[in-house]
Structure formats: structure tokens, C-alpha cells
Amino acid sequence: MKQPELGRKISELRKAKGWTQEELVERCNISVRTIQRIETGEVMPRIYTVKTILAALDYDLNKISDDQDILDSFTNWWKKLLLVDIDIDKPSEYVIRQLNGAWLFGVLYFILGFLEGAAEYFRYQDNELIYGSTFYVIMKLAVLISSVYFQRGFILLGGLFRNYLLKIVSVISIGCSILLIAYDIASIFYDAAERHFILGGAALTFGGIGIIYGLSLKRLEYSIGPIVKYAAFFEILAGCFFLTIVLSFISFILLIPAGLFEIIILYKAVIIIKEKQEEHAPEN
């Protein structure tokens, strides 16, 4: 484990035992100043020093290594999911495959949206699950997966065209979608009396995200073409209606053309990248 994580871990273990730094010093015979510098992450101690401190804290060094391996694996998975490690300066076949996958998932997300819309309408109006709880959960998970992979396409576009606002707002949108769908699924298994307040908060959240998302999309017009401004228009307008809460239902209608235009944007981005690759391909 590297610093500053190691220092934080040692500090947590020490505090869990209720020890001061001086009390830890008495048990491992290391100076207070050294303990202080290790816990604050100022220095990376030798392995012998780490073993001595952890032995005094009754903690196995291998556990720290295992914890770090798990953390690294999760971090790498998250970076791969959100396309953080993609080399945006050299669009590759991998990038094209990701964009193709994104617009295909966009089509799936668009179709599932009608099923989800019907389910949420009857659930909100009549408190009825028209598909049954099992299908509802499966549908919601399918919506979540397809929406995440759809949004990944715009994270990638944000990096490719130096539109970092689009990249950031797409990541935020994914996070909010995960939270909302997790709540939707959980709420069918208990009496969610607060559901109206949650939905109101979600409308305000996605209203703000929609407006910023539309503005960030608009910045792609020069790179992708005029179709971007239509997607941006519907996103901004839908966001404004979400903010009213009482007129949120209009937003779902407006998001239909917005979704279609966004699928086309991703598809067109693939064509543009392929054309650029052909232009720079060496002649035989």
C-alpha cells in the first residue's frame, strides 16, 4: 500500500484501539515524529518499520496488501467503465467499437424507455406494478445497463473533442441514474411513503443536469454538425420542464426526440473518426 493510504490505515487502526500516538510509540519503539510523518503521508517507511507498527496494532501486513489489491481492481474496473484510460489523442479501433456499442445501447435504452414510462405512469397514478415485481426489476436493470453504456459514448466524445463539461456531466448523470434506479427497485419491497419527495428531488436534479448537458452538447456542433443543436435544444427544454416538477411529464415527451438525435450524434461521430483515419492512413 502506498502513501497516503498507508498512513490513513495506520491512523485508523490506532484510533480503533483508542491509542494516542505516544501509546503506539511505547509498543513499537518508534519515535513519535516518525509515526506522525507516516500517518500524515509525508514519508514512505521501510517494510521493516511497517511490519513493526502493524505487529503492535495486531494487524497482518498481508491484509493491507489484499485490501490494496481489491481497491486497485475496483479502481481499474471503474476507470475502464468510464473510459478514463483511453488514449484520446490516437483514436483506435477500440474507440470506434466503444462508440458503436454506445449508440447500439442507445437504441436499446430508447426502446426500453417506453416500457419504463408505462410502468412508472401506472405505479405513480395507481400504485400498481403492471409488469409484476420480477419483470420490473429486470426491466430497471436493463434500463440502467443500457443507459450507462449509452452515456459512456458521450464521456468518450467529451474526451475526443476536448469537451470536458460534457464528460463531467455524463459521469454525474450515470451516478444519479444508478442512485434513482436503485431506489426504484428497493422501494417496491417496502412502503415508500417518501416516494413523492424523492421523485420531486430527482426532477430537480435531472432538470439541472439536463440544462447543463444540453449546453455541453451544443459545444459539439462545430465538430459533429448542426444535428447537435437539435439534441441540445430538446435537452435544455426538457430540463426546464423538469425544474417545474408539476410539468415534469412534458420532459419525458421532449426526451424522445432528444434521445434519437443523441443516437445519431454517436453514429455520426463514428463516421467522422473513420474518415479521419482514412485521411491519415499511409498510401500503398
Q: 98 with 124, same domain?
A: yes
Residue with cell 462545430: 222
Between 281 and 119, residue with greater pLDDT = 119
Residue-number span of the structural domain to which 29 is assigned? 5-79
Q: 174 with 122, same domain?
A: yes
Could you please report the per-residue DSSP string of 152-170? HHHHHHHHHTT-HHHHHHH
Helices (H) and strands (E) in the chain, counts: 12, 0
Q: 34 with 94, same domain?
A: no
Does position 11 have pLDDT exceeding 60, yes or no?
A: yes
Q: 191 with 62, same domain?
A: no
Q: 152 with 243, same domain?
A: yes
Question: What mean pLDDT, rounded, does the chain reach?
Answer: 85
Does position 171 have pLDDT exceeding 80, yes or no?
A: yes
| For residues 50-70, average pLDDT | 72
The total of structural domains in the chain comes to: 2
Q: What's the CA angle centered on 96, arms 91 and 101, to 5 degrees?
A: 145
191-222 pLDDT, tens digit per residue, is 766 777 888 899 999 999 999 999 999 999 98
pLDDT of residue 169: 94
Q: Which of 26, 54, 79 is the last residue of a domain?
A: 79
- List the single range of 39-48, 77-86, 100-109, 251-260 with lowest mean pLDDT: 77-86
| For residues 102-124, average pLDDT | 92
pLDDT of residue 192: 62
pLDDT of residue 70: 46
Q: Which of 64, 79, 94 is the last residue of a domain?
A: 79
Q: Measured between alpha carbons, how far is 231 from 216 in angstroms, rounded to an integer?
A: 11
Does position 89 have pLDDT exceeding 80, yes or no?
A: no
**Band of pLDDT at residue 43, cut at 50, 70 and 90:** confident
Q: 67 with 196, same domain?
A: no
Q: 168 with 65, same domain?
A: no
**Band of pLDDT at residue 252, cut at 50, 70 and 90:** very high
What's the CATH code of the domain at 16?
1.10.260.40
131-168 pLDDT, tens digit per residue, is 888 999 999 999 999 999 999 999 999 988 889 899 99
Q: 207 with 268, same domain?
A: yes
Q: 156 with 258, same domain?
A: yes
Q: What is the dihedral of CA 50, 56, 62, 67, to 10 degrees?
A: -90
Q: Which of 79, 114, 132 is the last residue of a domain?
A: 79
Q: 46 with 151, same domain?
A: no
Q: 11 with 150, same domain?
A: no
Q: 148 with 34, same domain?
A: no
CB 17 within 8 A of CB 11: no
**Band of pLDDT at residue 54, cut at 50, 70 and 90:** confident
